[in-house]
Amino acid sequence: MIDLERMMLSRFSLSGALIALTLAGCVTKSPAPVSERARPGSPAQSEAPAEPPRVARPGYYIVKPGDTLIRIALENGQNYRDIAAWSGLENPNLIEVGQELRVRPPDSRAVAKPVNTASGVEVHPAPAGGVVAPAPADGLRREPKGGKLPYSEQAWAQAQKPEAPIVAAKVEPKPEAKPESKPDPKVETKVETKAEPAKPETSKAANGDSKIEWGWPASGKIIASFNETSSKGVDLAGKSGDPVLAAAGGRVVYAGTGLRGYGKLVIVKHDNSFLSAYAHNQSLLVKEGQAVSKGQKIAELGDTDSDRPKLHFEIRRQGKPVDPGKYLPSR
């Protein structure tokens, strides 16, 4: 009896195990395969080629990040107000990256002139419409038949009358003028004199490209020299309040603090080629548009945007920094 119960229990346990395995096989499913898809904007997708940078046309400049109109004007040797006017800017303080600005004066319009041909006949350009009225066959010019007259019975009757024929006036040829006989000119003997060779001009300016008489803008010693990579001018030592003088005569094209790293700045335009800049001033004594003369006090030396009182002085030719030592007189 006990053996029979044991056999029955073992059968039940075996059946239960088989049923559990069967149920587990029905519930468990193999995971579905995952297909990796590239997300939009991921590196797997082929990126569109980057657009090449815009190239400015001759006489124009493309605004870059960090640019200001004052800096663009300084680097192109122009007045920022002129660039704003040439570019049609309503607000000179508002420019956008990628914007194209004109940095050279607009060309004057060409005026059409008559062309002299080999036959001696002047050929004039056609009118704006491109239509030229044909000339009459007999070469005579006739005015319009109808005129603008106020209405009246007399004017109406006059308009009904046939137009009188135009008779060409007979032009008699002029007698040819006989050349007058002139006496033979007397032969004068000239004494040749040897011209002395012109003496070369002695100028401090580099390659003689400047007729400007330059002077030192401050009396302090040079503490930083010109360097094309790190220093675009020279630094002159001094004390706060020392006078800053115009290095040459000209007109003030900028006076303010709109150029980062220059502090209180004065820019003087001397001619179509040369500018001079005076930076880190304590106070400015001139205004934009004011004419200044060589040696005139235009500012007071200071330390704005600087670690010490000094004057940073630049000379720019066509907007490009040049070594002031090649233009300033010897001390």
Give the domain CATH number at 93. Answer: 3.10.350.10
Contacts of 142 (CB under 8 A, 6+ apart): 136, 166
250 inside domain? yes
Examine residue 14 and state whether it is found in any structural domain, yes or no: no
CB 61 within 8 A of CB 319: no
Tell me how many domains the chain contains. Answer: 2
Report the alpha-carbon distance of residue 27 to residue 48 in Å, rounded. 48
In a domain, 97, yes or no: yes
CATH number, domain at 265?
Answer: 2.70.70.10
Q: Decide if 23 is inside a domain.
A: no
- The whole-angstrom separation of Cα 88 and Cα 74 is 19
Among 74, 102, 130, identify where a domain stops: 102
In this structure, are residues 61 and 77 in contact, taking their beta carbons and an 8 Å threshold? no
Q: How far apart are CA 265 and CA 301, in angstroms?
A: 11
Element (H, E) at 299: strand 297-301
Residues with Cβ < 8 Å from 240, sequence gap 6 or more?
A: 282, 300, 301, 302, 303, 309
Q: Which residues does residue 243 pair with via DSSP β-bridges, in sequence order?
A: 300
In terms of residue numbers, what domain contains 295?
207-326
Residue 48 lies in a domain: no
Q: Is 74 a member of any domain? A: yes
Phi, psi of 90, rounded to the nearest 5 degrees? -75, -35
Supply 244's token pair. 């800053």
> Is 286 within the bounds of a domain?
yes
Last residue of one domain, picked from the residues 51, 75, 102: 102
Is 314 within the bounds of a domain? Answer: yes
The angle subtended at Cα 232 by Cα 270 and Cα 99, nearest 5°, is 80
3 state SS of 118: coil
d(C-alpha 194, C-alpha 111), whole Å: 45
Q: Residues 267, 321: contact at Cβ < 8 Å?
A: no
Taking only the tens of pLDDT, the chain with its 331 residues reads 555 556 665 665 656 566 655 555 554 454 445 445 555 555 545 565 666 777 888 999 999 998 898 889 988 989 898 999 999 998 888 899 999 999 889 874 444 444 444 445 454 554 444 444 455 555 555 555 555 556 566 665 665 555 555 455 555 655 665 555 555 555 454 545 454 444 433 344 444 456 899 999 999 999 999 998 888 999 999 999 999 999 999 999 999 999 999 999 999 999 999 999 999 999 999 999 999 999 999 999 999 999 999 999 999 999 999 999 999 999 8
- Give first-to-last CA distance, the chain, whole Å: 133
How many Cβ atoms from other residues are within 10 Å of residue 164's Cβ?
A: 6
Please give the Cα distance from 298 to 290 (Å, whole number): 10
